A and B are shown apart, each in its own frame.
Chain A
């Protein structure tokens, strides 16, 4: 098995819980994105994908 290369300690417990949380939250994530893409298709224009637009854009 491959070693995880990281100069910071990712923490064993943090990695384990991250995998569990990621699995659980991927279910609503999947459905939300599916609904969005359906709405986008229906409206005929592209909708921003869920995770984009995270921070307010820098208007510079």
Chain B
């Protein structure tokens, strides 16, 4: 059509033939296809759509003009509420994934009360909005038919239960397996990796170990076996209740890691901390943005300052235990403007899935006004051997404004990083730092932190 901006399908939205999400003129829309018209009508008329939105389980949407539909077969077009920052399950800590799993089951329960059921239970259907998980796929619901099994059972176990069980019973880092397995952790792999003792936990024995064995046994028996399966409504409710109990029963072992304890053992004195907090707060005000990325956020001391200054914050840290602690702390308060995210700046989440476009890389999702890099440059430059000009270049890709802390070699934390290795960093000096960052940024102000050799800089990208 002439004069109308071209529609672009969101790359990750192709699996379900019932509809897809696209952008036109920067605005996000969802095309709903005729093939799901009956379910879509029931979704409204049963009151489920309104109930899900009212309870904060599903993003709201509003009707849009049908002729916006970019492809044939459209029944309706809606304009969903947009999520500020899109995150993926492999960037969530244990409790974020667990809350997303429980949200999915809660939506299923509500759907059942309205005569409907979930068609899928993908972890990618969940996003975090204002600190809490929320479903984003309005097309996930269909009419419940009596005696039909719960079709998303396998997907729920692979996307949620298996990684949660591995994190709880083996290692908190195993959530990162979702980065390699976009369709969820294969149950045979989960079963092999889980400690033998989990065979005695009824939930994991059933939904992971026996489930995996059944998949193997029935690998060749396609349609016949599956068509004969009937699950009564009561049994389906019992199954879902059991899944919920199993998920709720998973907990991380109480243990700190290197980083989770780090916030408590920084090199600052009380005066130094107060000084740093005051300077960061002032610099954030001066930067005058709306969205901040706090890279190397640890448990979020300075993310909280950014939130107080009015920013929406993505608080990134590479240590799962720090992200876990941060998320739990935020969940117990009313702070909704901070999204803790598990990612390593030296190895940010790659683009994955079909054509490497299905799930965007972390850098592709950068959209902040300000990036805060506090006490992080030395970890990259010395801990990870990244030359300072490359650190600067990466930070410049993230946001036009930067608040960065310079930690000199005489600082005890740098001393600790260098304690067991040769100092191969002759350029690691404030002069080298200024020269490296001066290639990408203009230094607007600098402020030494009281009682500390460290200095905070506020910079603006040279465009």
Of the stretches B233-241, B266-274, B311-319, the one at the interface is: B233-241
Main secondary structure of the interface of B (DSSP, over half): helix
| Given contacts A1-B227, A18-B231, A51-B237, A13 and B149 within 8 Å (CB-CB) | no
1-38 of chain A: CB within 8 A of chain B: 1-4, 6-19, 21-26, 29-30
B132 at interface by CB-CB < 8 Å: yes
In the bound assembly, the distance between CA atoms of A42 and B151 in angstroms comes to: 38
Proximity bits, B132-148, A CB within 8 Å = 1, else 0:
11000000000000001
Q: Are A25 and B215 in contact (CB under 8 A)?
A: no
Q: Are B237 and A29 in contact (CB under 8 A)?
A: yes
- The residue on A at minimum CB distance from B155 is A8
| Given contacts A7-B120, A60-B56, A25 and B18 within 8 Å (CB-CB) | no
Which of A6, A13, A24, A51 interacts with B214 by CB under 8 Å?
A13
In the bound assembly, the distance between CA atoms of A18 and B151 in angstroms comes to: 10
CB distance from B154 to the nearest CB of A (A): 4
Inter-chain contacts of B215 with A (CB < 8 A): 11, 13-14, 17
Q: Are A6 and B151 in contact (CB under 8 A)?
A: yes
| Given contacts A7-B120, A12-B221, A21-B206, A51 and B229 within 8 Å (CB-CB) | no
| Given contacts A21-B206, A51-B109, A2 and B227 within 8 Å (CB-CB) | yes
Q: Are A6 and B119 in contact (CB under 8 A)?
A: yes
CB distance from A60 to the nearest CB of B (A): 5
Q: Are B234 and A30 in contact (CB under 8 A)?
A: yes
Interface size on B, residues (CB 8 A): 60
Inter-chain contacts of B150 with A (CB < 8 A): 18
B106 at interface by CB-CB < 8 Å: yes
Proximity bits, A26-60, B CB within 8 Å = 1, else 0:
10011000000000000000000011101111111
B153 at interface by CB-CB < 8 Å: yes
Of the stretches B22-30, B97-105, B299-307, the one at the interface is: B97-105
B230 at interface by CB-CB < 8 Å: yes
In the bound assembly, the distance between CA atoms of A52 and B242 in angstroms comes to: 12
Inter-chain contacts of A51 with B (CB < 8 A): 109, 237, 240-241, 244
Most buried by B among A14, A16, A50: A14
Q: Are B240 and A4 in contact (CB under 8 A)?
A: no
Inter-chain contacts of B236 with A (CB < 8 A): 22
Inter-chain contacts of B218 with A (CB < 8 A): 11-13, 16
CB distance from A35 to the nearest CB of B (A): 14
Q: Are B241 and A25 in contact (CB under 8 A)?
A: yes
Q: Are A55 and B106 in contact (CB under 8 A)?
A: yes
Q: Are A21 and B239 in contact (CB under 8 A)?
A: yes
- The residue on B at minimum CB distance from A3 is B227
| Given contacts A14-B215, A19-B230, A25 and B242 within 8 Å (CB-CB) | yes
Q: Are B231 and A7 in contact (CB under 8 A)?
A: no
Pairs of residues from A and B, 3 with the lowest C-beta to C-beta distance, nearest first? A13-B218, A17-B214, A29-B238
A residues at B contact (CB < 8 Å): 1-4, 6-19, 21-26, 29-30, 50-52, 54-60
